[in-house]
Amino acid sequence: MSTTQDFPGMQFGLMTVSDITQDPTTGRTPSEGERIKAAVTMAKHAEEAGLDVFAIGEHHNPPFWSSSPTTTLAYIAAQTERIILSTSTTLITTNDPVKIAEDYAMLQHLSDGRMDLMMGRGNTGPVYPWFGKDIRQGLPLAIENYGLLHRLWREDVVDFEGKFRTALQGFTSTPRPLDGVAPFVWHGSIRTPEIAEQAAYYGDGFFANNIFWPAEHYQRLIGLYRQRWEHYGHGAPETAIVGLGGQAFIRKNSQDAKNEFRPYFDNAPVYGHGPSMEDFTQMTPLTVGSPQEVIDRYAGMREIFGDYQRQLFLMDHAGLPLKTVLEQIDILGEEVVPVLRKEMAAGRPANVPDAPTHALLVKEKYGDGDVRVAVPNANRGDNLTTGSSPYQDSTVTAGSAFGAAATRK
C-alpha cells in the first residue's frame, strides 16, 4: 500500500510546457539537457516550497523537449517524497492506450501512488501523421482510445474490437494498477465540449487550460461539465472535480515585476508580438505583480468557476532563466499559496470533495480498514461491454458522440 499523503482539500502546483526558448535579455538559449535537468530541479524545489503537484506536458517537436513524460516523472519520483506527479497533457489520440495503461501503472507503482495524469489531444496538428494517425479523426480517436484505457485499468481480462487499432482477445495489461485502483484521470481541454462531456460521463476530472482565452469561455466549458456530471448520476454539480491552469510572475513590488517580465512576454513564442502585456493580463488569468495581486486574482477564480480542486501555475516559459523560476516558486510557496489555501477553504461547502489522491481513491474503494479485500471483477472472463453510451461504442463519430451523449438518460 502506498504512503498516505496529507493533502488539503485543494491542490496547488506547477505545470511546464517544456519549451526551449531564448532568453531575450541575454540572447542565450539553453540546451535540451539544461532544460531537462531544470525541470527536475523545479519539481524538487516545488516540493521543498510546499506545493502539491508538478505536471509536465507531452510534445514531440522542437522547441519542446518532453517527449517521454513517464521517464521524466519516474526520475523525479525517485528524488521526491510527497509531491504528486502529473501530466499536462498525455496525448490520448496518438499514443497507444495499451502502452499508456502499462507505462502509467508502472509510474504509479514506482511513485507509491503519487501520480495522476491528464488526457488531451495536444496542440500540434502534425503529431497525428508522425504517429500514423489522421487528425480528422481526432475526436473519435480520443473517445475510443480512452474507452479502452479505462477498461484496461479496471478489467483484468479485456476483449476489444474498435476502429482505430487491432482487436484484443483475453488481454491483461501489466503491471496491474497499484492497490487495484486506477490512476486518477483529468481530461484537459481548451475549447472542446465533447471532452467536457467525456470527463463527466466517466466521473473523471476536467481541467480547463484557462491561460489563453477569457474566463467566460472556460466558464461555459466547466458549466457544461458540471451539468453533465449531475446528469450521469455522479452527484450535484458542485461535487464535480475541476482543475484550472494559470500564469503568474511575482515580485515584491508590482512595477518591478512588470519591468522584469515585459521582455519575456513581448518575445514569448505563443503570445509575443501580439497584444500588450496589459491587455493580455486583463483578458486572461496571467497576473504580473505583487504577491497580493496574485492572491486577489486567483482567490476570485472561485467566484467565476465555483469551488475547485486543483490550481496549476505556468512559471518557467518564455526563456525565463532557472534562477528566476526558482525564485518565483519560493514566492508562490511562501507568500501566495498559504494565503490562497486559507481563502479557498473558507466557506467551502461540505459536499465539495477534496482533491483526488491515491490514498483517497483507495479509501473510497475499500473503506477505512487496513486490510485490502479485493473487490470481485464483474467483467473477468466476460469482457463484452454493453450499454448505449457513445463512449462504449468504438465506432461512433465525433459529431454523433456529443449528440448522443447529450440526450442519454
Q: What's the pLDDT band for 252 if we cut at 50, 70, 90?
A: very high
The domain defined by 11-407 folds into TIM Barrel (3.20.20)
Query: How many angstroms separate the Cα of 104 from the Cα of each of 59, 70, 183, 225, 286?
Result: 17, 7, 8, 25, 31
Q: What's the pLDDT band for 402 if we cut at 50, 70, 90?
A: very low
pLDDT at 351 (0 to 100): 94
Mean pLDDT value across residues 48-73: 91
pLDDT at 407 (0 to 100): 35
Run of H or E residues at 310: strand 310-314
Nearest to 361 by CA among 205, 136, 160, 199: 205
pLDDT tens-digit profile of 8-31? 689 999 999 899 999 999 999 999
Q: What's the pLDDT band for 43 if we cut at 50, 70, 90?
A: very high
**Averaged pLDDT score across all residues of the chain:** 87
pLDDT at 248 (0 to 100): 96
C-alpha cell at 66: 518532453
Nearest to 24 by CA among 251, 317, 279: 317
Q: Per-domain residue ranges for the chain? A: 11-407
